[in-house]
Amino acid sequence: MPLSSRHLLGLQGVPREDIQLILDTAVTFREVLERPIKKVPTLQGKTVVNLFFENSTRTRISFELAQKRLSADTVNFSASTSSTKKGETFKDTVKNIEAMKVDMIVVRHASAGVPQFLTRISDAHVINAGDGAHEHPTQALLDMYSIREKFGRLEGLKVCIVGDISHSRVALSNIFGLRAMGAEVSLCGPATMIPREIEKLGVKVIYNIDQAIRENDVLNVLRIQLERQAGGLFPSLREYHNYFGITSERLEKNGKDIVILHPGPINRGVEISSEVADGPYQIILDQVTNGVAVRMAVLYLLGTLNKADGR
């Protein structure tokens, strides 16, 4: 059965079957990554553009590697647009790339809604690699893959996302994806970083990190953007670390086996201590490897859709 959509713009509204299909397909590609020759000819002759309007070396490299391992032709395009900068508009940039006959566009942009905008002006399959504080679906899929690999399931698991939820695209995609797969999602962070009315998304909010550790099977610890402190959202990095940071003392105190994820890059000593970041509970580097497999699965499933499939 093919995916029900010809784009991956986010996980909101994506049916459970689609997520299941992506994760199962990723298992196959994960095996490919263990072979001596890590390349399959699946997307030979297809052209993928990585259109990054925001710097994100890790995500771009992960996508690029996934594309190469599927034998697709890959082009990287870094650009920047803003409200004030004169020069080529976003639409002109896209029209230009489109004229080069590309099959898929992977896009990262500081504005929410750009992937949707792209589907209106281009015929290519669009994969959202992060739009504003909206969604980052492949990150959530690789998080779910990693959790499922560890527990063998997602259904019934309790997952807490810790940190700056208001400005996070990772959080939103995880909320939608995990809930679709039957997991229970909670959020933990300073109240200034939790969006109003977030409970309407079917999640619980916890302001005490110890409680979050006790009540959950998994913590997905988000990176704290250092400029948020300048914006006054929390008093100091020290206070953040003392009240919301994940440390080994905290994990021991709550005497609990727990799995810790982090989408990277890590601020050691802020949201997570070095001991925990390198310790037995974390699966941070597995996430990175799984990320390539999950992105291969998404590229493969979209790239091999028949014209008639999906909407």
Partner 1 sequence: MKIILKNVRLLNPEQKLNQNSDLLIVDGVITRIGTVAAGEAKDARVFELNNKYVVPGLFDMHVHLREPGREDEETVVTGCNSASAGGFTGLACMPNTSPAIDSAEIVSFIKEKARNHLVDVYPVGAVTMGRKGEALSPMAELSEAGVVAFSDDGCAVKNAKMLRLAFEYASMYRLPIIEHCEDESLEGGAMNEGVTSTFLGLPPMPSIAEDLVVMRDIMMAEYTGGKIHIAHISTKNSVEILRQAKKRGVNVTSEVTPHHFSLTEEALKTYDTNTKMNPPLRTRQDVEAILEGLKDGTIDAIASDHAPHSIEEKEMEFIYAPNGIVGLETELGLALSELLSKKILNMEELVEKMAINPRKILNIPVPKFAEGEIANLTIIDPEVVWTVDVKAFKSRSKNSPFDKRLLTGKALGVINRGKMFFDDKFFAI
> CB 12 → partner 1: shortest distance, Å?
7
Binding-site size, partner 1 (CB under 8 A): 28
* Residue numbers 206-245 binding partner 1 by CB under 8 A: none
> CB 186 → partner 1: shortest distance, Å?
16
For residue 58, indicate whether it is catalytic. yes
Options 104-112, 138-146, 258-266, 296-304: segment touching partner 1 (CB under 8 A): 104-112
In angstroms, the CA 230 to CA 228 distance is: 5
Amino acid making up residue 142: L
Site string for partner 1, 183-202 (x = CB under 8 A): ------------xxxx-xx-
In this structure, what is the dihedral angle of CA atoms 181, 182, 187, 188, given to the nearest 10 degrees?
A: -110
In angstroms, the CA 73 to CA 21 distance is: 24
For residue 136, indicate whether it is catalytic. yes
> CB 183 → partner 1: shortest distance, Å?
19
Which residues touch 174 (CB under 8 Å, ≥6 apart)? 139, 140, 143, 144, 159, 161, 185, 220
Which of 30, 69, 108, 134 lies at the binding interface for partner 1 (CB under 8 A)? 134
Which of 70, 104, 114, 296 lies at the binding interface for partner 1 (CB under 8 A)? 114
In angstroms, the CA 200 to CA 187 distance is: 13
Pairing of strands 104-109, 47-52: parallel
> CB 247 → partner 1: shortest distance, Å?
30
Pairing of strands 204-206, 184-188: parallel
Residue 105 within binding range of partner 1, rule CB under 8 A: no
Residue 205 within binding range of partner 1, rule CB under 8 A: no
* Residue numbers 56-95 binding partner 1 by CB under 8 A: 81-83, 89-91
In angstroms, the CA 272 to CA 147 distance is: 19
> CB 285 → partner 1: shortest distance, Å?
28
CA 69 to chain centre: 20
Specify the residue, 137 or 303, whose C-beta has the smaller distance to partner 1.
Answer: 137
> CB 288 → partner 1: shortest distance, Å?
24
Q: 136: left (phi > 0), else alpha (psi -120 to 50), else beta? A: beta
Contact 140, 177 (CB under 8 A): yes
For residue 84, indicate whether it is catalytic. no
Contact 145, 26 (CB under 8 A): yes
> What is residue 184's three-state secondary structure?
strand
Residue 109 within binding range of partner 1, rule CB under 8 A: yes
Residue 295 within binding range of partner 1, rule CB under 8 A: no
Specify the residue, 148 or 169, whose C-beta has the smaller distance to partner 1.
Answer: 169
Nearest to 118 by CA among 52, 193, 55: 52
Annotated catalytic residues are: 58-59, 86, 108, 136
Query: Which residues contact partner 1 by CB under 8 A?
Result: 12, 81-83, 89-91, 109-114, 116-117, 131-135, 169, 172, 195-198, 200-201
